[in-house]
Structure formats: structure tokens, C-alpha cells
Amino acid sequence: FKEMKQRFLSFKRNKYLRNLEHYKRLSEAQMPKFMVIACADSRVCPSRILGFEPGEAFVVRNVANLVPPHENGPSETNAALEFAVNSLEVENILVVGHSCCGGIMALMSLQDEVISSSFIKSWVLVGNPARSKTKAAASNLSFDQQCKHCEKVS
């Protein structure tokens, strides 16, 4: 935590205090042009990768960057999507995936006949249409190649 505190103090000194007017405007209202739905993977930071500054993107992260179908009922991702579109009036929505995604690996390794009550299984099953397409189109490929295929399809 000591290092984290130092990083915060460095941010405050080198970014926040040097751009006080900008951060004051941000505190009054957010008006991002982009919504980004990205994976929660700690190795992949969408704001850093895409070069967004504070206030430019409304970012939602979840396991495997999945967007559940509306008919599945409420979800945090769909609530954020509704808020971004209806309240923030974002102009662009990006769904950003990445390679070697653990969520996609979990989805692809599920056994059809296995019953599980885990939160992870329930969540990654949102990607089942992509899994089915991958199994149909790429069943001859290795597991890793199937995962790469599914990352693109999902």
C-alpha cells in the first residue's frame, strides 16, 4: 500500500494539480464520447492501451468483455450500457477483447454435461453462442487455437 500511496501522491502532484481547471470541469459533469466494454484482466488496461484521458471514455470491465442479450434480464453491463447511451449520450461503443483471455478459456473448457453453480460458469455462458460457433467452425484446431477463434467471435 505504501507504493500505491506514493503513486497517488505523484498523480496528484504531477497531473491533478497541474491541470486543476480540467479536473474541476470533469467534477461538474462527464461527457465522454466513447463507451468501452473491456475485460477485467489486470494485464489489459483499456484507457492506457487506447490512450484515453480522464473524461474521454466511460469504461465497463467484466470477465471476457461479454455483453449479455437484453432478454436475459438485468445485468451490470447492460445497466451501464443503458446509462452510457441514454444519459451520457456516448457517440461510440467499443467492445475490446484481448488474446489469452482466461474468461474465454473458461468458456471453451466447459463440459456441456457438467452442472455447476459457480458465478464464473453462469457469467461465461453469456458467450455460449460464440463457443458454439467456434466448436462448429474450428473443432479440428488445438484448444489454444479454438480459444483464439472464440476471442474473435465473441
Q: What is the pLDDT of residues 92-110, one digit of tens each?
A: 999 999 999 999 999 999 8
Judge if 44 and 94 occupy the same domain.
yes
User: Inter-axis angle of helices 143-153 and 102-109, to 10 degrees?
Assistant: 110
The pLDDT mean for the chain works out to 93
Q: How many independent structural domains does the chain possess?
A: 3
pTM (predicted TM-score): 0.87
Q: For the CA atoms of the chain, what is the radius of gyration?
A: 19
In single-letter form, the type of residue at position 45 comes to C
Q: List the catalytic residue out of 18, 25, 41, 112.
A: 41
Look up 45 and say whether it is catalytic.
Answer: no
Look up 48 and say whether it is catalytic.
Answer: no
Judge if 38 and 82 occupy the same domain.
yes
Judge if 45 and 18 occupy the same domain.
no
Q: Give the pLDDT of residue 115.
A: 52
Gap between the Cα atoms of 83 and 38, Å rounded: 16
Domain hosting residue 6, numbered range: 1-29
Judge if 21 and 37 occupy the same domain.
no
Judge if 65 and 37 occupy the same domain.
yes
Q: What angle do CA 48, 68, 111 make, to 5 degrees?
A: 100
Look up 101 and say whether it is catalytic.
Answer: yes
Residue list, annotated binding site: 39, 41, 98, 101
Q: List the catalytic residue out of 13, 18, 101, 149.
A: 101
pLDDT tens track for 57-75? 999 999 999 999 987 778 9
The helix (H) or strand (E) run that includes residue 83 is: helix 76-86
Q: How many CB atoms lie within 10 A of CB 105?
A: 17
Gap between the Cα atoms of 89 and 59, Å rounded: 14
3-class DSSP state of 109? helix
Gap between the Cα atoms of 83 and 14, Å rounded: 32
Look up 112 and say whether it is catalytic.
Answer: no
